[in-house]
Every structure is written in C-alpha cells, then in structure tokens.
Amino acid sequence: MIVLQIVLLVIKIVLLIAILMGGFAYTMLLERRLLGFFQLRLGPNRVGPGGLLQPIADGLKMVLKEDLMPLGADPFVYRLAPVISLFTALCVDAVIPFGAPIHIFGLTVTLDIANPSIGLLIAFAFSSLGVYGLVLGGWASQNKYSLLGGIRASAQIISYELAMGLAVMGVLMTAHTANLEQIVLYQKAHGWLWLPQIGAFLIYFVTGIAETNRTPFDLPEAESELVAGYHTEYSGMRFASYIIAEYINMITVSGIAVTLFFGGWLGPWLPPIIWFFIKIAIFLFVFIWIRATLPRFRYDQLMNFGWKVLVPAALIYFLGTAAFVSGIL
Amino acid sequence: MIAFVILAILALGGGVGVVVARQPVHSALFLIMNILALAIFYILLSAEFLAAAQVIVYAGAIMVLFLFVVTLLTAGKDDAEPQESLQGQRLTAGILAVLAGGGLAVLGVLFPSRSVPFGLPPNFGNLHGMGLNLWNQDFVYLAAVALMLLTAAIGVLVLNRPPREGPKPRVKEGDS
C-alpha cells in the first residue's frame, strides 16, 4: 500500500511538472499572440499551424545557446540563483488542489501533491523564497544593472508581500481554515468568496502582479532603464529558467486566486479540473491584457502605492473582516 | 534519526559557514541554510505552523532585507581579509563560547527536568494550538513584544527624520 502511495505521488509530481511546463510554454505563446493582436499585428504564427509549435522552436533555441558567465561573477551563486527561482516556483503549486478528489480502483486520489492543514501558509513560504533567485542573480552577475534590478526586486517583493498576506488573511478568517481544499469546500457551501472579499481580492491580484514582476510592476527588469535587470547577464537555459519561473509564478498566482476567491474547481456540467483550468486561463488573459495596457510605474510611485495605499487598505479590510467574523459588526 | 543527523549537519554547517565565509553574501546564504534546516526540524516536531512562520518571517522577509543591505554595500568589493581593529578578539570569543557551552551543558546535566521543559501543550506549533496559546495565556507577552517592535519601528522613523530646517531662509525679503 505504501509503495502504491509513493508511486502515485511520483506520478502526480511528474504530471504536475509536465502540466506546469506545458502551461508555461503555451502561456508564453498566448501572450505573444495576444500582445500582437492588442497592437494590431499578428504575433508569431509561422511555426506550425497558427504558430502552435513556436514554444518547441524557442525551447530548442534556448537549449542550444551558449551558457555565458561574466568574468567577475561569483560562479556558485550565479549558477544557483536561477535554480532557486525555478524550484520555488514549482514547489508552490504542490499544495494547490487542481480538482475534486477522484475515486478510481477503490482509491481516493486527491489532485494535489500535498494537503497540509496550513497549505496556504506553505504556499506563501515557498513563494517568499522565490525572491532570492532574483536578488542573488542580480548580485552574482557583478553588473550594475543586474545589481539594481536585484535590489529593486527585494524591496518591491517585500513591500507587496505584506499587503498580499494581509489580503489573504480575510479569506482565512472567513473560511476558518488555512487548508486550501477546505477553503474550496467552504465556498461550495457558502458561495464563492470573491464577493464578500472583493477588497481583499483586488489587493491580492494587484500584489500578485507585483510579486510576479509583471508589467506595470516589472521594475526589476525594466528594459528601458536596466537593460534586462537581474537577468541581463544570463543566457541559454539559465535565462530560460528565469522566464519559466516567471510564467509558472503567473499560473500559481492565478491558481491561488481561483482557489481562494473563485471556488477552485467548482462549477457546473464540466469536470472539476477543466473548470479549474478555465478559471486560470481567464486570469492569465487578464495578466496579459494588463501588460498590454498599462505603462510601468516609476520606482517612487511603486513604493508609495505599496506602502501608502495597498498596505493600509489591506489592513482596514482585514480588521473589518475580523470584526465581522467575530460578530462585533 | 537519519533525518535528524542530516538536518543537524546542515544547521551546524550553516552556522559555521556564516562565521567562516569571507563574502558577506555567502554568509547570508549560509544563514538561510541554517534557517531552513531549523524549519524542517520544526516539521519533524510536527509544529507545522512554526515551520511555515520560520520560513515566511526569517527566510522570506528578514534575510531578504539583510541581503538587500549586503548586496548594496558589498557590490564590487574584493573579499580580502579585513584588518582587525580589536586585537585578540577571536581568542576571547572562542574562550567565551567554550565557557558558555560548557556552562549550559553542566546546567543541563545538573537540572535535567528544569533545563529541558517537558509536556508541551497539545497541538503545540500548529495553527490552532499556537493561536490558543498566543491569545489566551501568553497574551501579555504577545502584547509586550508587539509594543517593543512598535517602539523600535517608531524609533527608526524618529532617528531617520530629516533634520528640522532652521529659521526659514528669507526668500521674499524684497517683498516686505
């Protein structure tokens, strides 16, 4: 029985990584095509039917590229940094339930790798480690633009993580649990949480965009000021690791938003896992839409917005939710 | 037991590395290794919440701030041995460390039940047990720590306030 459980776990892990990698590849293609349409051009449509084989061509290109390292770089940290980014990005998804538990061959298979009682906090713990990839990569390159990008990343992510944590607390208090599966089941019984937690959801989504370093919060890589920020010096697969991590983080932020605020896998007619993917796809579209629409923040604007708008707003919403849950209000 | 030994080696190695590493960023990395090893120790003690809090607060926030400062200050510096301003500090520190460790060990052997408190409250270290502890019997300490941290934060703000401007320069002298 234990052997069977371990085999099942390994299969689930391999499947999850495959799904995330495929998700990354086609999110990237989707982004390039959509950005093309937003800007009244076509985007990549030459490789395969409608450009569908483009990710494979990109992947081959990345694998075959030379792996460069600056002369003054710190070799160990330089190689370690992209691995940290990719590793933490993949780990967060381990606790997200992708669908309702399935019953086959008398076995109950949950569609998450792990289902700890504090799943939400585990997800936060891993995603809070992701910033090391950026900071260390920026530092180890020994390039002033990389360094500036890394320093920006650390300041930005610390500031926005705070508001994100406060926003998510509201859901945690309303559902009386930090277990992601239980939160979905709570929403099954009491309705989806985006409406009662609309303030928390908006703050979560804004900070989620900032945490993934997407436009308009892509200050760490700001290509018009810092060349490419923390990953200026990286090439080949190490560069690809950063990009993969960024897109998987997008999927993760969407997945957690869906789980916390939009009922996770819940939905009529279609199988639960399909609903989950549809909801994630909608979020990814919004991510790309925002990137195509909004210009980048200036650095002081970013900090002011984070500390003077988002954190107080999240705190007030948090206290309001606490008062409501405890019955004072 | 195997897990304990591996984690202990990682934690101790991290601790030694912090002191031995010449490059401050490497020291910070060793400290992160130590913190993560401790977090897994907590999981082994089935104190999941403590583990998550350890990672989120120490590894995810405090060490990032450390790195922020360290990367900013040490960019492009060589890692040569700095000149010691205080002579013999290593020897003194070593003697003190041995004395402190020996003292603790002696105390631990002499008063085994008092130095190692047994009987943790039920659910210690998971979300529920931790919350009950913090908001019931230990609330005074929680409030005290909160007050202390608030004082520190306000202190930083006060100390870093830009110097108050003296008598305003009379720009509009010609007008009056």
Distance from CA of A191 to the nearest CA of B (A): 25
**What three-state secondary structure class fits B119?**
coil
One digit per residue, the tens of pLDDT, for chain B of length 176 reads: 788 888 888 888 888 888 888 788 888 889 988 998 988 888 888 788 888 888 888 888 888 888 888 877 775 555 556 666 777 788 888 899 999 999 988 888 887 665 455 566 666 767 777 777 788 888 888 899 999 999 998 998 888 887 776 666 555 554 44
Partner residues linked to A108 by β-bridges: A103
- B116 alpha-carbon distance from chain centroid: 22
For CA atoms A112, A116, A121, A124, the dihedral sign is: negative
Average confidence (pLDDT) over A282-300: 87
| Residues from chain A contacting residue B56 (CB–CB below 8 Å) | 121, 124-125, 128, 165
- Percent of chain B as helix, strand, coil, to the nearest 5: 70, 0, 30
- Spell out the domain ranges in chain A: 70-100+115-326
Q: What is the pLDDT of residues A38-51, one digit of tens each?
A: 888 888 888 878 78
| Beta carbons of B75 and A124 less than 8 Å apart | no
> Which of B25, B61, B68 has its CB closest to that of A77?
B25
Cβ atoms of A67 and A78 closer than 8 Å: no
CA distances A244 to A90, A160, A217, Å, are 10, 22, 18
- What's the rounded Cα separation, in Å, for the pair A116 and A171? 17
- What's the rounded Cα separation, in Å, for the pair B17 and B14? 5
Q: Global pTM?
A: 0.82
Q: What is the pLDDT of residues A167-208, one digit of tens each?
A: 888 888 888 888 888 888 888 888 788 778 888 889 999 998
pLDDT of res. B61: 83
pLDDT of res. B84: 65
pLDDT of res. B100: 94
Which residue is associated with the tokens 């990389």?
A146
Question: How many residues in chain A?
Answer: 329
Q: What is the pLDDT of residues A65-74, one digit of tens each?
A: 888 888 877 8
- What's the rounded Cα separation, in Å, for the pair A239 and A63? 10
DSSP class per residue in B36-90: HHHHHHHHHTT-HHHHHHIIIIIIIIIHHHHHHHHHHHHTT---PPPPPSSTTHH
Q: How much is the mean pLDDT over chain A? A: 84
pLDDT of res. B65: 84
pLDDT of res. A302: 86
Q: Which two tokens stand for residue A269?
A: 């007619």
Average confidence (pLDDT) over A77-85: 88
Angle CA A283–A208–A315, to nearest 5: 125
- What's the rounded Cα separation, in Å, for the pair B90 and A289? 59
> Which of B26, B52, B76 has its CB closest to that of A118?
B52
| Residues from chain B contacting residue A131 (CB–CB below 8 Å) | 60, 64
End-to-end Cα, chain B, rounded Å: 85
Give the helix/strand (H/E) hosting A109: strand A107-109
Return the amino acid letter for A248.
I
Between A163 and B162, residue with greater pLDDT:
A163
- The closest of A58, A57, A56, A51 to A34, measured between CA atoms, is A51
- The closest of A49, A50, A57, A47 to A25, measured between CA atoms, is A57
Residue in B closest to A127 by C-alpha: B60
- Spell out the domain ranges in chain B: 1-57, 88-114+122-162
Angle CA B19–B21–B26, to nearest 5: 110
Q: What is the pLDDT of residues A97-109, one digit of tens each?
A: 887 777 776 677 7
